[in-house]
Amino acid sequence: MGAFQRCINPQCQATFDVSEVLHRCPKCGSLLDVDYEWDKLQVPSSLSHFEKYWSERSNPRRFSGVWRFHELLPFAPLEECVTVGEGQTILQRNDGVAAYVGKSAGSLFLQYEGLNPSGSFKDNGMAAGTTHGRLVGAKSAACASTGNTSASLALYCSTAKFGKSIVFIGSGKIAYGKLSQALDYGARTIQIKGDFDDAMARVQEVSKALGIYLLNSLNPFRLEGQKTIMFRVLEALRWEVPDWIVVPGGNLGNSSAFGKAFIELHKLGLIKKVPRLAVVNAAGADSLYRLYNEEGLRWNGGNIDKAKIDAFYSQMDKENRRASTIASAIEINRPVNLTKCLRALDFCDGVVRKVSEQEILDAKAQIGANGFGCEPASAASVAGAKQLVAEGVIGKDERIACVLTGHQLKDPNATVAYHGNDREFYEKILGTRGVKTTEFANRPIVVDNDVDRILDLLK
């Protein structure tokens, strides 16, 4: 077939068949990539090759925003790929948000992944992950999740014809929009008394013990699907590479997948220029930020300073530091894809920033006011871009694509707390998080049930 799995550690590089279900390299414990024998595969000679599939949209796999790029992630036969219509997402120029972050008109684009079937970018990965699960004969699948992965897994499991999916979540740490999806789509939902990092540890143990297919972003096949987000960004720019990609960082699956996409496109001669990558943490879940900017941790040709990482985490445990942010999708202190993200940052000359709760919510309100609804985590990309423009790292006229990772309706509480009149609600949701102002709030106007009063008000 031309596809295999390969350990990302350059000192190891052990390879494994795609039919093996592995979460880490059995030899050295590093993460795994899906890799391809490109010289044995039919690789397009230019990205415009993919335009011909636009006329084949009656075939669901050509319609899919993931599988219409099948030649760039060919680990399963096209006919066997799982799709529920993911990836019909748009990149749109947004001058209002550009003005907010201090950029010139025409220079800022939003990649709106909230338009996916379950409302987040996770569907790109789940289409690929469930395809692999089916390929290896999995009968059920599991994940740990801050919410969106579970929603996506629950949705894809019925299409992939898996039995009941199992999702592990931290207690009280999940936005209702997401929880409602997992329950509605029929997943067995296990609520751990602990946070995401606890849920992540348990799901790995449980899947191992029970032989359940694991669909966290540790799963390298999921990341193959997420590469296509970048293919669509390029497609919308008529295959021109932007100057910057800005993405929120949680478990660092997306940033890792984007880096891999650009590494491969570059290697295959399909792009000449490589965009720079900005990964944005929430200040309350800033392990990558600290490790990268304060500890100077780097990919370093694959010779990552493991002792530094271990020391960082043991200090974190000693201080009992727990991730805490309104941006629940990135409320993660032990990002499983850390090493792959370092590789992406290395290849894309990347930077890492952190943004406060206030910055996240203000950016979110501005994104909303300019026609795009997103959940708090997504707004970290725009808030991060604003910082980088203010610092002069991102130029005023440089073309940037900010990824809006999830839909507005995922987490209505945060939005209503920001815009609403209910101070008590505000205090409960935001006040304890150091959010002092709601500068861009669009408050509902309270008025008597009287048409004349209402008319007076609207005149």
Ligand X SMILES: *Cc1c(COP(=O)(O)O)cnc(C)c1O
- Binding partner of residue 282 among Zn ion, ligand X, none, CB under 5 to 8 Å per kind? none
Determine, following the binding rule CB under 5 A, whether residue 190 of this chain makes contact with Zn ion: no
- Binding partner of residue 375 among ligand X, Zn ion, none, CB under 5 to 8 Å per kind? ligand X
Tell me the residue number closest to ligand X, measured at CB: 406
Q: Is 333 exposed, middle or buried (0-12, 13-18, 19+ CB in 10 A)?
A: buried
Determine, following the binding rule CB under 6 A, whether residue 339 of this chain makes contact with ligand X: no
- The whole-angstrom separation of Cα 293 and Cα 276 is 16
Determine, following the binding rule CB under 6 A, whether residue 225 of this chain makes contact with ligand X: no
Which residue from 126, 330, 345, 365 is in contact with ligand X, where contact means CB under 6 A? 330
Q: Could you tell me which of 408, 399, 417, 329 has the C-alpha nearest to residue 367?
A: 408
Determine, following the binding rule CB under 6 A, whether residue 216 of this chain makes contact with ligand X: no
Please list, in sequence order, all residues whose beta carbon lies within 8 angstroms of the beta carbon of residue 288, skipping any fewer than 6 positions away.
Answer: 249, 252, 279, 281, 335, 338, 341, 352
Residue 1's identity, in one-letter code, is M
Determine, following the binding rule CB under 5 A, whether residue 339 of this chain makes contact with Zn ion: no
Residues in the interface with ligand X (CB under 6 A) total 18
- Binding partner of residue 14 among ligand X, Zn ion, none, CB under 5 to 8 Å per kind? Zn ion
Contact 260, 33 (CB under 8 A): yes
Determine, following the binding rule CB under 6 A, whether residue 150 of this chain makes contact with ligand X: no
74-101 burial code (b ≥16 CB/10 A, e <16): bbbeeeebbbbebbebebbebeebbebb
Query: For 312-407, where are the E strands, in sequence order?
Result: 351-355, 400-404
Which residue from 170, 253, 259, 368 is in contact with ligand X, where contact means CB under 6 A? 253
Among 20-28, 268-276, 314-322, 435-443, the segment contacting Zn ion (CB under 5 A): 20-28
Residue 377 or 417: which CB sits closer to ligand X?
Answer: 377
Determine, following the binding rule CB under 6 A, whether residue 252 of this chain makes contact with ligand X: yes
Determine, following the binding rule CB under 6 A, whether residue 328 of this chain makes contact with ligand X: no
Determine, following the binding rule CB under 5 A, whether residue 12 of this chain makes contact with Zn ion: yes
- The whole-angstrom separation of Cα 388 and Cα 395 is 9
Residue 285 or 394: which CB sits closer to ligand X?
Answer: 285
Strands 3-7 and 15-17: antiparallel
Determine, following the binding rule CB under 6 A, whether residue 333 of this chain makes contact with ligand X: no
Q: Could you tell me which of 257, 255, 245 has the C-alpha nearest to residue 292?
A: 255
| Binding to ligand X, residues 106-145 (CB under 6 A) | 120, 122
| Binding to ligand X, residues 394-413 (CB under 6 A) | 405-406
Please list, in sequence order, all residues whose beta carbon lies within 8 angstroms of the beta carbon of residue 250, skipping any fewer than 6 positions away.
Answer: 146, 285, 329, 330, 331, 332, 335, 377
Strands 351-355 and 108-112: unpaired
Determine, following the binding rule CB under 6 A, whether residue 378 of this chain makes contact with ligand X: yes
Q: Is 356 exposed, middle or buried (0-12, 13-18, 19+ CB in 10 A)?
A: middle
Determine, following the binding rule CB under 6 A, whether residue 228 of this chain makes contact with ligand X: no
Residue 26 or 77: which CB sits closer to Zn ion?
Answer: 26
Determine, following the binding rule CB under 6 A, whether residue 340 of this chain makes contact with ligand X: no
Residue 30 or 328: which CB sits closer to Zn ion?
Answer: 30
- Binding partner of residue 254 among ligand X, Zn ion, none, CB under 5 to 8 Å per kind? ligand X
Determine, following the binding rule CB under 6 A, whether residue 217 of this chain makes contact with ligand X: yes
Q: Which helix (H) or strand (E) holds 6?
A: strand 3-7
Supply 323's token pair. 């991730």
Q: Which helix (H) or strand (E) holds 458?
A: helix 451-458
| Residues in contact with Zn ion by the rule CB under 5 A | 7, 9, 12, 14, 25, 27-28, 30
| Residues in contact with ligand X by the rule CB under 6 A | 120, 122, 148, 217, 248-254, 329-330, 375, 377-378, 405-406
